[in-house]
Amino acid sequence: MATTGFWPVKNRLKEVIDYARNPDKTTDKKYLDEDLYNALRYIENDDKTDKRMYVSAINCPTKRAYQYMMATKQRYGKHGGNVAYHGYQSFVSGEVTPEEAHEIGLETARRMWGKDYEIVVTTHLNTDNLHNHIVVNSVSFRTGRKFENHISDHYKLREISDAVCLERGKSVLPPSKFTGNRKKDYWVHKNGGLTHRDILKRDIESILPYCGNVDDIERRLVSLGNQFPRNRDYEHISIIAPGWKRAIRLDSLGYTNEVLRKRIYENRSNERFYVLRNNNPSFRPKVYPLLILEKKLDCEITHSKDTAVVLVDVLFYILLQLLNLTRDEQELQRRNQPLSPSIRQSLTIEKKLLSEYAFLKNNDLHSAEDIMNFIDNRTEEISVLEAERQKIRNSNRRPKSDEERQAKNTAARELSKKLKPLRKELKLAESALERYPQVWELLKTERDAEIKSRNRNREKER
């Protein structure tokens, strides 16, 4: 079973620069269209493709795919608009081998675009679900026409993918309303993040090995902070979590009722299954880490929304402590894991949170007002130094001697050295100021979940 989709790669960062006529020449990165280049680099990432074992091209050499695509654009003079299309084809965990996934991806791409367009297909092995990425040139090498990207093309890709899967004895998705592409998901993944769909898939895969019936699945998903909508559709099961705007249907992730029943049957066929399930009970919090941290720090997260009062550095500190618990297997066994899926999702930005928190502590910044004052001061310092450097450069246009030119160049370079750390600090300050409301919302969601769970447990004890 494979899910599919594709979306345009647009020229957002700069205009396309004319490509050298000879496509065999090595192209310096400064001559590249950045969006097309990044899309190709992303899908050919060695960490994802097992050292390029599963990278292939159609209608162009694999190692010269970018050059050939740009040569086609150059030949027909079509540089603007959508520079390429980025597609995906994701398989249910365990249903295909990397070789099979790659063959299916190549055949799907060949039938969909192979008559007219240059294509690169790679198979990524970095997740539980093997998946193909497909980059297609937006301009036809045969006719010079641009791919028009109609809604019917998305239907056609799914139909072709299903046909190729069936020919190779693989399952396919049942007929359903077309849900469009995952363009936003691409940019989240490109920046190293995880979507709600990614977190839910991880949760499902983490609990399925210990589920012997549907009730087990529901109980374990709820114990991880997920929720079932009140008006439940048992044919198309959906999941939502605090902070999410809409529910996600499990069958849209490849977990149809048939797939779930099959996984349950396989579990129960394993003679050691009940031992495994008993050794891995569903999560039941014994302590509430955020509430404990609040008490320890004498700081209640929801006490005020006044930006002059909220201790921003404390919010960052608490979130980082919760992320430590989320990652720590010992804490998981002690039932100290945070309840909110959104906290687990924040693991992908942990490095940014650490750098922003260190910046706040090193500069003794506690409130949003402190950060805004810091930004104002740094902006003024940078403006003064930039004006001074520009003045030196202007005066150096007609130097009286080579010695004077060199002296002024040296002075300008020294000012550039002073500007570099100031700009870095300014960027961190702006980033922390922008992020702190998100951190506050994350912690509030977790706090609400802990209080609800604690009250529920108290009611049971009574």
pLDDT tens, position by position, 75-94: 888 877 788 888 888 887 77
Average pLDDT over residues 379-404: 89
Q: How far apart are CA 192 and CA 186, in angstroms?
A: 10
The CB-side HSE value for 122 (13 A sphere, CA atoms) comes to 25
pLDDT at 4: 80
Whether residue 42 is predicted with pLDDT greater than 70 in this model: the reply is no
Site of tokens 């936003």: 184
367: three-class secondary structure by DSSP: coil
Q: Tell which wins on pLDDT, 387 or 1.
A: 387
Contact indicator for 2, 90 with CB cutoff of 8 Å: yes
Per-residue confidence band for 378, with pLDDT thresholds at 50, 70 and 90: very high
Most confident of the following: 188-197, 247-256, 299-308, 332-341:
247-256
Q: How far apart are CA 263 and CA 242, in angstroms?
A: 27
Whether residue 321 is predicted with pLDDT greater than 70 in this model: the reply is yes
Q: Which two tokens stand for residue 281?
A: 């009970």
Residue 89 has phi, psi (to 5 degrees) of -145, 110
Q: Which residues of 32-62 are buried (b: 16+ CB within 10 A; e: fewer)?
A: bbbbbbebbebbbeeebbeeeebbbbbbbee
Average pLDDT over residues 228-236: 73
pLDDT at 118: 93
Whether residue 26 is predicted with pLDDT greater than 50 in this model: the reply is no
pLDDT at 462: 67
pLDDT at 384: 94
Strand arrangement, sheet containing 2-10: 2-10, 82-91, 131-137, 119-124, 55-58
Q: Which residues of 95-121 are buried (b: 16+ CB within 10 A; e: fewer)?
A: bbeeebbbbbbbbbbbbbbbebbbbbb
Q: What is the pLDDT of residues 93-113, one digit of tens each?
A: 778 888 898 999 999 999 999
Q: Which two tokens stand for residue 277?
A: 């399930």
Residue 254 has phi, psi (to 5 degrees) of 100, 0
For the ranges 5-9, 131-135, 268-272, 427-431, the lowest mean pLDDT is seen at 5-9
Average pLDDT over residues 229-236: 72
For the ranges 24-28, 154-158, 252-256, 412-416, the lowest mean pLDDT is seen at 24-28
Going by C-alpha positions, the residue among 34, 31, 42, 41 that lies closest to residue 12 is 34
Q: How far apart are CA 387 and CA 156, in angstroms?
A: 58
What pTM was estimated for this model as a whole?
0.52
Average pLDDT over residues 346-357: 87
The per-residue DSSP string of 395-427 comes to HTSS-SSHHHHHHHHHHHHHHHHHHHHHHHHHH
pLDDT at 24: 30
158 exposure class (CB count in 10 Å sphere: 0-12, 13-18, 19+)? buried
132: three-class secondary structure by DSSP: strand
Site of tokens 């989240």: 188
The CB-side HSE value for 90 (13 A sphere, CA atoms) comes to 18
The two beta strands, 2-10 and 248-249, are unpaired
pLDDT at 31: 31
Contact indicator for 228, 239 with CB cutoff of 8 Å: yes
pLDDT at 92: 78
Site of tokens 């909110």: 340
Whether residue 223 is predicted with pLDDT greater than 90 in this model: the reply is no
- Taking every pair of C-alpha atoms in the chain, what is the biggest distance, in angstroms? 91
Cα-Cα-Cα-Cα torsion 112, 115, 120, 121, nearest 10 degrees, comes to 40
Q: How far apart are CA 98 and CA 101, in angstroms?
A: 5
Q: Tell which wins on pLDDT, 289 or 420.
A: 420
| CATH number of the domain located at residue range(s) 2-190 in this protein | 3.30.930
Q: How far apart are CA 98 and CA 52, in angstroms?
A: 12
Those residues with Cβ within 8 angstroms of residue 213's Cβ, 6 or more apart along the chain or in another chain = 264
Whether residue 44 is predicted with pLDDT greater than 70 in this model: the reply is no
**Which residues, listed in sequence order, are joined to residue 132 by a DSSP beta bridge?**
89, 123
State CA 406 to chain mean position distance: 47
Question: What is the average pLDDT value for the chain, to the nearest integer?
Answer: 78
Whether residue 48 is predicted with pLDDT greater than 70 in this model: the reply is no
Instruction: Quote the strand ranges of 209-335, DSSP E.
Output: 238-239, 248-249
pLDDT at 27: 31
pLDDT at 193: 67
Per-residue confidence band for 236, with pLDDT thresholds at 50, 70 and 90: confident
Average pLDDT over residues 374-387: 93
Q: What is the pLDDT of residues 289-307, one digit of tens each?
A: 888 888 888 877 766 455 4
Most confident of the following: 54-68, 273-287, 405-419, 439-453:
405-419
pLDDT at 184: 62
286 exposure class (CB count in 10 Å sphere: 0-12, 13-18, 19+)? exposed
Q: How far apart are CA 44 and CA 34, in angstroms?
A: 15
Whether residue 46 is predicted with pLDDT greater than 80 in this model: the reply is no
Q: What is the pLDDT of residues 158-202, one digit of tens each?
A: 889 988 988 888 877 555 444 444 556 655 665 566 788 888 888
pLDDT at 51: 40
Those residues with Cβ within 8 angstroms of residue 128's Cβ, 6 or more apart along the chain or in another chain = 93, 201, 205
Intervals of CATH 3.30.930 along the chain: 2-190
State CA 334 to chain mean position distance: 30
Q: What is the pLDDT of residues 422-456, one digit of tens each?
A: 999 999 999 998 888 888 888 888 888 888 878 87
Those residues with Cβ within 8 angstroms of residue 41's Cβ, 6 or more apart along the chain or in another chain = none
pLDDT at 380: 94
